[in-house]
Structure 1
Amino acid sequence: MATTNDIKNGSILRLDGGVLWNVIEFQHVKPGKGGAFVRTKLKNVLTGKIVDKTFNAGTKVEFANVDRSDMEYLYHDGESFIFMDNQTFDQIPVPEAIVGDAKGFLLENTKVTVATHDGNPLYIEMPAAVELEITQTDPGVQGDRSTGGTKPATVQTGATIQVPLFVTTGERVKVDTRTGDYLGRVN
C-alpha cells in the first residue's frame, strides 16, 4: 500500500469503499506550524464529479491498477461505441454514458486512449483537437463584424459548435475536444 507522498497527477486512487478517483491536481503543503498535508482535487472516474480532499502527509492510500490502451474508434452500434486495440486487434464496446460529450467529436478511425480497470472501460481520452467538416451553417451577414460575432454550425458528427461569421458550409475546421471551441480553419 502506498502513501500520499506517492500521489501524482493522473494517478487513480481507490477511496471510500472502492470508488475510483482520478487525481487532477495535488499539492504538498508544509505549514510553519503543525504537520504537513497533501491537498488534492479529485475527479470521480464514473460520475465525473470533482471534489477537493485533504490528506495528512504519509497517510496510506490505495492506488487502482488502470490500463491505458491506444485504440481506434470503429463504429457506433446504437448502444455502445466500438473501439479496437491497435496492438491486439481486440474490439471492446464502450457504453455511451462513458464516452459522454466526446461522441460529438468522434469520427471513424479516430485514435483515442481508453482506460480500463479489471476489463471494464472507465473513460476515454480524446486527442486535444480534431478536424471536422461543416455540414450546415447559415451564411454570414454583411455588416458590423468588429464585434467578432459567431454563428452556430453543425459538423459532420452532428455536434453544433460556434464558428466565426466567415466560415461557410463545406469547410474543414479544427475543434477543441475538451471545450467544443472553434480553433481555426484547415486548408
Structure 2
Amino acid sequence: MVRAILAPFPGALQNEALPSDGARTKDRIAVKVIASQIRKGNILEVEGKLYAVLVAESFHPGKGTPTTQIDMRRLSDGVKISNRYKTTEQVERAFVEDRDFSYLFADGEGFTFMNTENYEQLIVSKDVVGDAAPYLQEGMVVRLSIFEDQAVGIVLPQRMTLEVVETEPTTKGQTASSSFKPAILSNGVRSMVPPHIGPGTRIVVLTDDGSYVERAKD
C-alpha cells in the first residue's frame, strides 16, 4: 500500500470538514488519487517512508493493463526506488506549497535559490533539479515545490531562447518541411532544428524536452 502524509493545511480550522476522500492523521491530511495523476514533485509514503516523485510515466499497451511507472527518492537518505502500479490504482498524495525562487548559483552542495518574497536562500539537491540544470541561468525565476522546508520539485519557464552553437549543414534538396537535423545549443542540450537553422541562430525551445518551437524574434 502506498500512502502519503500531507503538510499541515494552511489556515485549516480544527473543526473544518474534511474532503470526502481525505483522512486526517496528527493534523495532516491524506488525499487519494489514481496513480496516473501522480506527477514529479509529489510526495508519497511507501512502507512508512516519505518519497519525492522524480518521474511518473504512464504506459498504455495495445493489449494488457495500462500501468504507471513511478521513480522516487526517499527524503530521509536519498535512496531511490521504482514502483509500477495500475493506472487506476489509488495512492495517497501529499499537497506541497509552490513558491517563486530566483536562481543564484551551483556548487558542490547543490543549487542555491533565493525566495523572491523574503530573500531567504534554499539549497536544492541535484536529484531534484535533474534535467532542468542546463537551463538554469542566474536570476531566472522558477517555481519550487516545498514540502516540510525541502524542495521536492522544480518548474522552469515553459520556453527559453538559446543559441545554436553546432549543427549539420543543410543537404541539397532538404526543406524545412521534410526533416529536422540535430543541433547543440549554447547550454549543451541537444535539439532537432529545421534545415535552415545554422550556428549562431537564436531559437526558442521548450524547457521540458529541448524541442524546437521557432526562430527567436529578438
Normalised by the size of structure 1, how large is the TM-score? 0.71
Greater shift in the superposed pair: 147-156 or 13-22: 13-22
Q: How many residues align?
A: 169
Measure how far apart 1:89 and its partner are: 1.0
Instruction: Tell me, yes or no, if structure 1 residue 69 matches structure 2 residue 99.
Output: yes
CA positional deviation for 1:104? 2.5
Partner of 1:93 in structure 2?
123
Secondary structure of the residue that 2:99 maps to in structure 1?
Answer: strand
| Partner deviation per Cα, 1:69-90 (whole Å, 9 max, x = no partner) | 1112222225522211111111
Shift in Å, 1:120:
2.1
Q: Cα deviations across residues 100-132 of structure 1 (Å, max 9, x unaligned)?
A: 111122222222111122222212112222221
Contact 2:161 2:204 in 1 (8 A): yes
Q: Percent identity?
A: 29
Say if 2:179 is the partner of 1:149: yes
CA contact (8 A) 2:168 2:183 kept: yes
Alignment of 1:51 onto 2:84: yes
Please say which of residues 133-142 and 83-92 is displaced more in the overlay: 133-142
| Structure 1 residue 170 displacement after superposition | 2.0
2:190 matches 1:132: no
| Unmatched runs of 5 consecutive residues or more in structure 2 | 6-21, 24-29, 58-65, 74-79
Q: TM-score, normalised by structure 2?
A: 0.62
Which residue of structure 1 aligns with residue 48 of structure 2?
17
Indicate the residue corresponding to 2:133 in structure 1.
103
1:14 partner amino acid? E
> CA RMSD, aligned part only?
3.4
C-alpha separation in 1, matches of 2:126 and 2:134: 11
Q: Deviations over 1:44-70 (max 9, x none)?
A: 553595633524xxxxx7653522211
Give the secondary structure class of the aligned counterpart of 1:140.
coil
What's the counterpart of residue 195 of structure 2?
A: 165
Question: Contact 2:142–2:156 (CA<8 Å) still a contact in 1?
Answer: yes
Unaligned residue ranges in structure 1 (runs of 5+)? 26-38, 56-60
The answer to whether the 8 A contact 1:45-1:122 is kept is no
